[in-house]
Amino acid sequence: MTIITKFEKKCSVCGRTSLQPVLGSTNTWGYPDIDLRPPEMQRSTIDIWLVECPHCGYVASNIENELEVPADILKTDEYLTCEGKNFKSKLSERFYKHYLISKAENNHDSEFLSLLHCAWTCDDNDDKLAVEIRKMALKSMYKIEPQEDDEKNALKLIEADLLRRSLQFDEVIRKFKDVILEDKTQNDIISFQIELSMNKDSACHTVEEVVKK
């Protein structure tokens, strides 16, 4: 089960307090998506992966964490308007604002994850922006320099899905047709991505579809 509690948190930017949700525990049941988005119940906790100070607009996993760039970024038009992107949910805006902060901080991992999660939030109500954000996520992902094989393979799986779901079907086939991974399930996911791309399928799919083929 998922347990969420609320605590008074003091914003490290403006010094004011607000009541913020904190995830106590959660669980997963079933299979993740093939871009590694977790299944329920963890999936539904996405709305508290980041929080926002209602006073100054600072977005972070915990607003008590220090902002590592000048606070003026929170007052820029780019930040306040999400660079003019007309998101249909406040959650999408929150992840995009965190992307802008992470980019300013030169934190490539956080920059990429913020965009990936932003794309997930766009899937249900804004297909056009979901495609655009996935293309941005790809550019951010290419800045990451993974050291461990597990991370390298995870990024390969996510890359294939980002390309396919941003309608770059030919690129999926070109980049991954000769890729062989040691893990059977991961290798089967890559083969599945190629098959989907050949069929011009840009929909969401789960690992369950792969293992039960």
Contacts of 89 by beta carbon, 8 Å cutoff, 6+ apart: 121, 122, 125, 126
The string of pLDDT tens digits covering residues 123-177 is 978 888 999 999 999 999 999 999 899 999 999 999 999 999 999 999 999 999 9
The string of pLDDT tens digits covering residues 27-69 is 888 899 999 999 999 999 999 999 999 999 999 999 999 999 9
- Angle among Cα 61, 103, 176 to the nearest 5 degrees reads 95
> Sign of the C-alpha dihedral, residues 55, 57, 63, 65?
negative
pLDDT over 80 at 213, yes or no: no
Q: Are 7 and 22 in contact (CB under 8 A)?
A: yes
Phi/psi-derived region of residue 53, left when phi > 0, alpha when psi is between -120 and 50, beta in every other case? beta
Q: Are 39 and 59 in contact (CB under 8 A)?
A: no
